[in-house]
Amino acid sequence: MQTISIVVPVYQGELTLETLLGEVEPLTKEQSSPGGVPFRVTEVILVHDGAIDRSDVVISSLAEKLSYVAPIWLSRNFGQHAATLAGMSSTNGDWVVTLDEDGQQDPRDIGGFLDVAVHDDVQLVYAQPTNEPPHGFVRNQFSAFAKWIFQRLGHAHIGEFNSFRLIKGEIARGLAAYCGPGVYLDVALSWVVGRAARCPVMLRRERARPSAYSYSRLIRHFWNLVLTSGTGPLRVVTFIGIASILLGIVVSAYALWGKVTGHAEIPGWASLLIVVSLFSGLTLFSLGVLAEYLGIAITMALGKPLYLITSRPYRGAPPNGQK
């Protein structure tokens, strides 16, 4: 019997939480997934992240009526990822599911997630929407671009991420204990998980309200992803510096050739060009080296763990694509 803890960060859930918990209710009884894995939802952690509506009243009411509902009250709005980590730290289940409050994600898909985790022997399963997200064209394209950047910054082994996740319980709790402020949750998961799998799901439209994410909030969200991705963005400065040095050598050779052959008509032009080309490249390279040291300090400040102890060995990806 696999036990499931559900974590729901709440920012604007006054009109959606009761319906969501109504869908979770059948999952609190012992049952089997479509693939035959026995499971039961044992707790739902509702994290009040400084909500802007009367979500606190709804959460209190649900906690009184439903024994498996546990509220967590944050002192202010810390953001979805921080609230999710706060909820994960208080879970007890074998697995942790992160679920949005707006009703887009169907709790009935949790059984399918569990089947994928058991079949592929992975510690992390993401939702893979089979339909277009129920947002506008611009936001969907921005989201796709952010996920593309995420993989290019060194997280290709995780692949495309989603806020609907199934995480091994000990991984979720260990990660919540280590992470520092401002960390992007999926970046942190890529630090401690060797690979992730995906489960096809159908997204639904948001219930009763528009998304709480404005474009400015999405941009800040994206920038946080970049900044917490480690030294990858900083290393670009080093590569630019090396390219500048190589270009400076080529330009300097051309300027010196012009000086020797008499094609440089302006006095001092060749020497000035050589100095500017070489030293600008050296300056950028030096900044890149400093950025590497800064990246190490940032990684330590973010709380990236040196290791994380689990109860089962990680077997890695199967050879030659075999199951």
Q: What is the pLDDT of residue 109?
A: 95
Contact 104, 203 (CB under 8 A): yes
Q: pLDDT tens, 239-286?
A: 777 777 777 777 777 777 776 776 656 666 666 766 776 777 777 777
d(CA 85, CA 104): 21
Segments of the chain scoring below 50 in pLDDT: 319, 321-323
Global model pTM greater than 0.85: no
| Residue 199 token pair | 């489960």
Q: What is the pLDDT of residue 223?
A: 67
Q: Which helix (H) or strand (E) holds 65?
A: helix 55-65
Residue type, 56: D
Q: pLDDT tens, 181-224?
A: 777 888 889 888 888 999 999 988 776 555 555 667 667 766 66
Contact 158, 189 (CB under 8 A): yes
Smallest CA-to-CA distance from 4 within 71, 96, 68, 124 is with: 96
Q: Is 126 exposed, middle or buried, given 0-12, 13-18 or 19+ CB atoms closer than 10 A?
A: buried
Q: What is the pLDDT of residue 319?
A: 47
Q: What is the pLDDT of residue 70?
A: 94
Smallest CA-to-CA distance from 256 within 240, 237, 278 is with: 278
Q: Which residue's structure tokens are 């050739």?
A: 257
